[in-house]
Each structure stands twice: as structure tokens, then as C-alpha cells.
Structure 1
Amino acid sequence: MRDERIINTVVTLHVQKCWSIRKISRELNLSRNRIRRILVSNSMLRDTTSKDKELVKKQRPSKLDQYKEYIGDLLIKHPKITGQRVYELIKEKGYPGEISIVREYLKSVRQVGSKTPIKMVETDPGQLAAHDWSDYNITFTSTGQTQQVTFFSYILGFSRRQYVSVVENKKQPTLFRELIAAFIYFDGVPKEIRSDNQKACVDQWAPGNPVFNSKYLEFASWYRFTPKTITPRNPVENLKIERPFWYLEQNFLGGREFKDLQDLKNQLQLWLRQVNDVRKHGTTKERPIDRYVQEQPYLQPLPVNHFDTSLVTHKVVNQESCIYYEGYQYVVPTKHMFELCPLRITQEQMIVYSPCGEQIACHPLAEKGRKERYVGDHKKSTKKPDLPIADVISRLECFSPEMNGYIQQVKQHKPVTWRHHLRNLLALKVNYRVEDILVAIRRALLYKVFDSSVVENFLENNSEPRYSIKLSFKPRNNNYDEQQK
């Protein structure tokens, strides 16, 4: 270690008192070589100029020297040529070196413009929040299988406090439910919320402006925030939500094992409170939980009633007296067969209403992997539940007044099996729209066709079904119809 006191003593004794190196060595108990080094170093530092002290690096010949002129010609002809391609071309000319020298040389001769610096825009407390999704492949220890898991993230712009959850899909109802959960988690709503251009939020971009989804705008009006989005193909505008996903990946997913999906969710909630909330943020240099205390009073209060995230739709009760939804049959009373019924589907259950608005059934949604395809009490019998033929005729006549004439023609030309054909015609309503069925009936009247199977074939070839897959059914045999006469 350099001892300045000894150096000063040696220098002053030698210069001022003219002591010899031998005498200084004897008196200070230092080696003569050390004393010489101290005196030479002191003289060099005092008596040489800064220019003299500069060390010029000797340029050694490079394996690439004889190819530099050729590389220069390549860069003139192809300014954007890659280093890999340059290496391949000079390799053909006998270059014996490796690609690393080529890349270093290209980096030195190319004029690479400086990148535009990214500036993080800070916002006032309660002004802005952002949300996004991200997918990760995670291997669970209980099964050893790798599964894709989707994370939803919502972050407050001022405090950087974050809400993260695991979701099943990226559909709009899921987005609404998670945003509501985030509002409750932070006990308030910011004035603006930014998303990317996901379909749940943005329908399209008109010239220069986003066209937000009408349902998303309704949700925004309910909670009184202004929806914002980023410019397409410019993700740096949303760094406040993108960067925390990197931290989630490195700090939470890295170095942890998860038994199953539920274990992942449990560990995630602990991590949010015990790690993410109390770390010192790299930009703000403060803990997110401390800045949240400052931000929370500026958040808008929550409404008394939250937005209804249920899916409301209409479906026809099929010939099994069930509503078909996502691979399962939800049982409804037999008297509502072939009726178009309103449905309200929440995250936990399906509620079925009659056309008059009366609730007729309520079932929990079938869990994933369930083997039993029927949900509800479905009494299996030797014969299928059926409507009285008078009700069948009444419902067919509701299609259009012209159905009455066709019904009479079917009775006349199919005296034995007319009930079978009329029931089949009514059952077509499960897969096809009434307007399409009427087109097929008019064609059947024109060509004097009174067989329901021919009408169904026409619909299969010329109409678009209600569902992506056809809901099949087995027509009743003629013997049963004969017994009902």
C-alpha cells in the first residue's frame, strides 16, 4: 500500500539534505531498490509533460487488413448488409479469422445514429393507471407438465403499486372482472386508464384516433375514467406496465417452484405484499406502498353497485330440453323445448329465463374436464320428451302465416308420418334461423317437396348454422308417430 508519509520523507531527505540512497536506507530501514523507485516515480511525475505520459497503442497487423477494401465496397453497395453475410463473403475469398473481428470492424466503420432516448413521463397522483396481459410457460411440480399461464397486471402510474392475478383467458368479461378487482384492491379509480390495442378495448384505429369498443366505453363511464391507448407498434409508450412484467418474470417466477395453479396464486399474493410493495423502485427510489399512501386520496371513489360483467345472450332450447353451451347441456323444463330463451352467464353460474322473462333454471357452470355432459337434473327415460302435436303446429304457425298451408300439404301427402316431419321441421330451429327455414319451406312448396329431410339438406347446403358445429338429433321413428294418431 502506498504510504505518502514515507514517500515525503525519502524525497525531502534526498533533495533538501542531499542524503545518499545508502544513508536513507540505513536510517529509515528501507531497501535501496524501494528508495530508487520512489525517487524515479517522483521525478517522472514532476518533470514530464502530459503528452509524454500518453501511451500510444501499437497497431498490430490484423487478419482482416487485406479484406477491408472489399468490405468498404460491400458497405457502399449494401449499406444494411449484416455482419454474418460479410463474414460469409470474405470467407469465400480465404479469410482465415473468426466473425467476432468482422463485427468489431463493422461497428467501428459504420455510422450508427444514436437511438432516441426514452423518457419516462411522470403523472400526478390518481391521474393514470395501465393494464395488460402476459403469458408464461410454467412447469408444475405435482404433474411435471408445462402449462401456459396468463397473468393480468394493473399498475398505478404515480406510486407504481401493482395488482397482478392469474386469469383463464383474455376475453372482455375477464378484463372487466379483473379491473373491478383492481379497483377494490386499491380502493379507488384513477382519472385515466391506458391499455394496449387489445380487442377487448379497441375495435380499430381510424385515421390518427382509436375507436374504443362500445362495451368498454360503457364500463369506463360506469367508473368515470377516460380510456387511453398506445399508438400501434410503439410499445415504449406503455413502459410503466411492460417493465413490471420483466420484474415479475425475474423476481417472482425466477427461482421459485409451484406445486399447481392454486399454489402459484397463493405465492403470487404473498409476493405482491411482502416483496413488490416494499421494494425500493428503481425510478422513484421509494417504496410503492409509501407512494400509494400519498396517491390513494386522489383516486375516485368506488360506486355503490359495480358494473354487471355477466354475458347476456339468447339460445334455443334443443330437442333434449337443454341449452347447449361450451360443450355441456344445461337442463331446462321440457315445456320450453325449441323456445328462444334469454341467458345470463356469470363467472359461476348460468341463469335461464323464459321468453316472458321468468326464471326457469339456474345451474353452476360446468368445471373444466367434467365428464358428465348434462348439468342439472336430467331424467333419462326410454323415450325422449316430446311436445304434443298441437303445440308443434302452433309453434310452426308462429314462423309465418304461410306455414299453415305447408302444414296442410304435409298432412295430405304424408298421411302416416306427418307428425314426424312436422316435429323435425320445428327442431330445425335449434341449428338454423327462422328466416332461413322459411326460405327452404317456400322452395319446398314450389317444388312440392314435403319431406323434412329434404328441407334440412337444403339448409345444410345453403344456410349458415347458428353454431360452429351442428347440434345433431335422431328423428323419431314412424311407429311412435303411428301410435300417437
Structure 2
Amino acid sequence: PFTRIGKTEVLCFSYILGFSRRQYIDFTTNRTFFTLIRRHQDAFHYYEGVPKQCLYDGEKTVLLRWEAGRPVYNPAFIAFITHYHCKPIVVRRPETKGKIEAPFQYVEKNLLNARTFQDLDDLKATAQWWLRDKSDKHVHETTHRPPLELFMEQERSALQPLPLHDYDSSEVALRVCSIDGFLDFETNRYSVPYEYGADILTLKATEQEVFIYSPEIEVVAHHERLPQGAGKTSEKPEHRTSKKIRYGLEPVRDAFLALGNHADPFLSGLKATYPRNAGFHARFILHLKETYYADDINMAFHHAQRYQAFDAKAIERILLAKAKPRTLESIRNEQARKELEKTLPRIEQRPLDEYCTLLYREEKEDGKDSEHPGADSDPGQNLPQHLEAS
């Protein structure tokens, strides 16, 4: 446990070079895919180069499964690691796995043993000191040389140069903005201007910052990234120009009417049925955009009007019965598919008559035209029965 903040689960990332045994380590509070590739980038910059291949022990962020004795890698990880022209290799031999696991034992016995740390930042700072003054300079029991010395003499020149630009390790996600002007991400809340309430916005998170983009892909908010799972709120004063806009129907009227042509008459019925709580029902319906397409919600309005069911729960029941739920991720995939279609050449199917004509001409060239009287006439006429165009 840390002396200042108490008990916290911490994970150690280790990257060690196979020849010199020079090691890089860092500590994190999670083992997500994005954390993994960011620590790789830190290691590459620490060594000022990239190895040609890297060994892994089969973690899920790297390897999806084995199939017919061959590894099936995580495509997202392959996109990252090949950016640095590095080949991943998943090891299965116990002898090779020892080279991967032994450095963790060294860290535990030499760095962590009998030391206390105030918090994660203190642990990370101590680890950097330990790498520089201890790990790099100690005599390794296998090579009988200090890792830094052997690295500088023989291994550094064998590393590949770093690319001109690092791989973009940002996390990108779609989020429905709440009516009170917040986006939820990793249990934390980030403010945006009120006018984007109920809109589907794009969130891009680096390791230190969070950027939020409008539907027109313009930056509408910029925050410092909060710790994962902290349950905190980051609210910018410039996003809160008026307190009145937070409540009632008026702040969400435009977003509600944008759902489709049936939204306006449904809203009129909603106000007549719930003159004091129409805003609550409108907000509830707008939150359904996170699960259903706007077109489906619009058709639910039309169905509800036929039965005078002016109620948010009625819309939810209609959608459950008649619409297919979708995730925000499916929106991004659909947009990518449409963009790809624009770049591909359009392929038109030939009329079947052309294939019949082609087959008839081939038979004629093979000397079989004697079986077909009228060969000099229109090839579409007098075709054998099995070649007649349909």
C-alpha cells in the first residue's frame, strides 16, 4: 500500500532487450490495450530505437487465440507494432518464457523490496532512478557485463530507427451528450456547451487530455484527463453561460424536433398530456438515441400518435417491440463502410444475353454451328434450348 493514498492495485510493465539485458519498466493502474501500446512507445524512445522482433507470452491484448497451431493476433495490436516495423512472436517454450518472466522477479527483489512509496507518481519516479543508477549499471548474472555497457557497445547499432511520427495511441469513442451538458467516459464526466445536449459527439482521449468534437468535427471542449474510475467531474465555466438553460423543455426542443417529421406533432401531444413534465419525457426519449437510430424513434412517434400514447415509456416499449437496438460503435462502422464505398470502382452486372451470345460464338468457332440452323442470323435467335436467355 502507498503511504499517502492507501492500498492501490498497480501493474508493472517490463521491456527487456534480449542481448544486452537492458531493461525498461513502468507502473500503471490498468492493463488496457492503449496502456500497453503507450508503454511500448515509451520503451522505444528510452532505447532510441526499435528491435526487429519482440517476444510475448500470450496475453490477450496481443494474441486472440491459437488456430491449427498458428497464432491469431489482435489486429489492433498488429496495426500498432507494424508501424514500428517490429515482428511479434508469441513464445510457448518454458525456457524462452523464463527470459520474459525473470525481469519481474528482479524488479520485485531489488526495486520494491523493503521500500515504501507515497503514491503512484513516487513509485514511477523511483523506478526511473532505479533504471538509471541500478539496473543499467549492475553486472548481469548471465552476460557478466553491465547492461548499459553492452547495449552501447553492440546492441544499440542493431536497433531500427524510430519512425518520423509515433503511432496515434488516442482512444476514440462516440458518446451521447447528456441534457445537462456532460459526456461520460471511464466513470468520469466532462462538460460541453449546453447546445450539444442529446447530440452524438466524438471523444478523443490521449493519456493526459480529452478532446470532444461536435457532429461537424469541430473541437467544442478540451479537458485534462481524469484518473480512470475516479468518478469525478471536469466542468469548464465557459460551458455554463446560463443556469436557466439546464431545465425544462426549451433547452432540448431543437434536439427533439431534429429526430424527424413526426417529432413536432408528438411533442404537441406530449405537452397537452404532461403540461408540467413534458421536458422530463422529452429528455428521456432523447437518451434513447444511445440505443436506437433517430429514424426508428421517429417512426415510434408516428405509431404512438395513432393510439394517442403521448408518453416516454410508450416510445420505449414501441422501440423494444419494433426496432433493432444498435451501439454507437455501429454508427462509426457504418460511416467507415460508406466512405470506403466512395473509393471503390462501381461494378455493374452484365446482361445475361451477353453471356448467351458469347457461348454461342464459342461453339460456332469450334465447328458446332452446323447443329444450329440460321447461324448467320441474329445470335440471339435460334439458340439451343439450354442457352436461351431468361
TM-score normalized by the length of structure 1: 0.59
Cα distance between partner residues in 2 of 1:207 and 1:155: 30
What are the superposed Cα offsets for residues 383-410 of structure 1, whole Å, 9 maximum, x if unpaired? 625656762454111xxxxxx3464356
2:176–2:198 Cα contact (<8 Å) kept? yes
Change (3 A) 1:179 1:421: closer
Counterpart secondary structure, 2:258: helix
1:339 pairs, out of 199, 221, 241, with: 199
Which of 193, 204, 207 is 2:54 aligned to?
193
Find 2:235's aligned residue among 375, 379, 385: 375
| Residue pair 1:328, 1:375 contacting (<8 A) in 2 also | no
How big is each residue's C-alpha offset from its partner over 1:419-477, in whole Å with a ceiling of 9 and x where there is no partner?
6487346523354222664675566357552322322356689986969xxxxxxxxxx
How many Å separate the matches in 2 of 1:409 and 1:357?
31
Whole-Å Cα distance in 1 between the matches of residues 251 and 268 of structure 2?
A: 16
Are 2:134 and 1:265 equivalent residues in the alignment?
no
After TM superposition, the structure 1 = structure 2 runs for residues 378-397 of structure 1, keeping only pairs within 5 Å, are 379=240, 381=243, 384=246, 387=250, 391-392=254-255, 394-397=257-260
Flag the 1:369–1:243 CA change in 2: closer, same or farther, 3 A: closer
Question: What SS is found at the alignment partner of 2:14?
Answer: strand
| AA matched with 2:133 | Q
Q: Select 1:154's aligned residue among 15, 21, 41.
A: 15
Is residue 2:248 matched to residue 1:248?
no
Alignment of 1:39-78 (within 5 A): none
1:433-452, aligned counterparts within 5 Å?
Answer: 433-434=292-293, 437=297, 440-441=300-301, 444=304, 448-452=308-312
Cα distance, 1:271 vs structure 2: 1.9
Aligned to 2:2: 140
Counterparts in 2 of 1:89-100, with a 5 A limit? none
Residue in 1 aligned with 2:216?
356
SS at match of 1:351: strand
C-alpha distance 140-392 of structure 1, shift in aligned 2 (>3 A): closer
Q: Is the 8 A contact 1:407 1:422 kept in 2?
A: no
Distance in 2 separating the partners of 1:281 and 1:187: 22
C-alpha separation in 2, matches of 1:224 and 1:284: 27
Which amino acid is 1:165 matched to? D
The structure number with the bigger radius of gyration is 1
Please state whether the residue corresponding to 1:415 is helix, strand or coil.
Answer: helix
Instruction: Choose 172-181 or 280-289, whichever is displaced more.
Output: 280-289
Contact kept, 8 Å, 1:311 with 1:345, in 2: the verdict is: yes
Which amino acid in structure 2 is aligned with residue 415 of structure 1? A
The one-letter code sitting in structure 2 at the alignment partner of 1:273 is R
Which residue matches 2:77?
A: 216
Segments of 5+ residues of structure 2 without an aligned counterpart are 329-390
The amino acid across from 1:373 in the alignment is T
Give the corresponding residue for 2:366: none
**Cα distance in 2, alignment partners of residues 369 and 197 from structure 1:** 27
**Identical aligned pairs, as a percentage?**
32
Aligned to 1:408: 265
CA distance in 1, matches of 2:3, 2:307: 66
> Which residue is equivalent to 2:133?
274
Deviation at 1:338, TM superposition (A): 1.4
Greater RCO structure (CA 8 Å; 6+ sep): 2
CA separation in 1, counterparts of 2:82 and 2:212?
A: 28
Which of 191, 203, 207 does residue 64 from structure 2 map onto?
203
In structure 2, the CA distance between the partners of 1:313 and 1:370, relative to structure 1 (3 Å rule), is closer
Q: Secondary structure at the match of 2:189?
A: strand
Report the CA distance shift for 1:198/1:437 in structure 2 as closer, same or farther (over 3 A): farther
- Which residue number in structure 1 is paired with residue 282 of structure 2? 423
- TM-score, length-scaled by structure 2: 0.72
CA contact (8 A) 1:428 1:456 kept: no
Structure 1 residues 256 and 331: alpha-carbon distance in aligned structure 2, compared to 1, 3 A threshold:
closer
Say yes or no: does 1:300 pair with 2:160: yes
1:310 aligns with 2:152: no
Deviation at 1:192, TM superposition (A): 0.4
Question: CA offsets, 1:1-53, max 9 Å, x none?
Answer: xxxxxxxxxxxxxxxxxxxxxxxxxxxxxxxxxxxxxxxxxxxxxxxxxxxxx
Q: Distance in 1 between matches of 2:94 and 2:106?
A: 17
State the SS of the aligned residue for 2:125.
helix
Which residue identity lines up with residue 177 of structure 2 in the other structure? V
| Cα distance change on mapping 1:155 and 1:439 into 2, 3 Å | farther
Further displaced range: 158-167 or 410-419: 410-419
Distance 1:412 1:334 in 2: 26
Equivalent pair of 1:421/1:451 in contact (CA under 8 Å): no
The 1:204/1:330 distance shift into structure 2, 3 A limit, reads same
Equivalent pair of 2:20/2:150 in contact (CA under 8 Å):
yes
Q: Contact 2:80 / 2:167 at 8 angstroms: preserved in 1?
A: yes
SS of residue matched to 2:10: strand
Question: 2:386 maps to which residue?
Answer: none
In structure 2, distance between residues paired with 1:451 and 1:227? 56
Checking the alignment, whether the CA contact within 8 Å between 1:311 and 1:344 is kept in structure 2 is yes
Answer with 171-180 or 204-213: which moved more: 204-213
* More moved, 455-464 vs 242-251: 455-464
Residue 421 and residue 263 in structure 1: after superposition, are their counterparts in 2 closer, same or farther (change >3 A)? closer
Contact 2:259–2:297 under 8 Å retained in 1: no
Residue ranges of structure 1 left out of the alignment (5+ in a row): 1-138, 398-403, 468-485
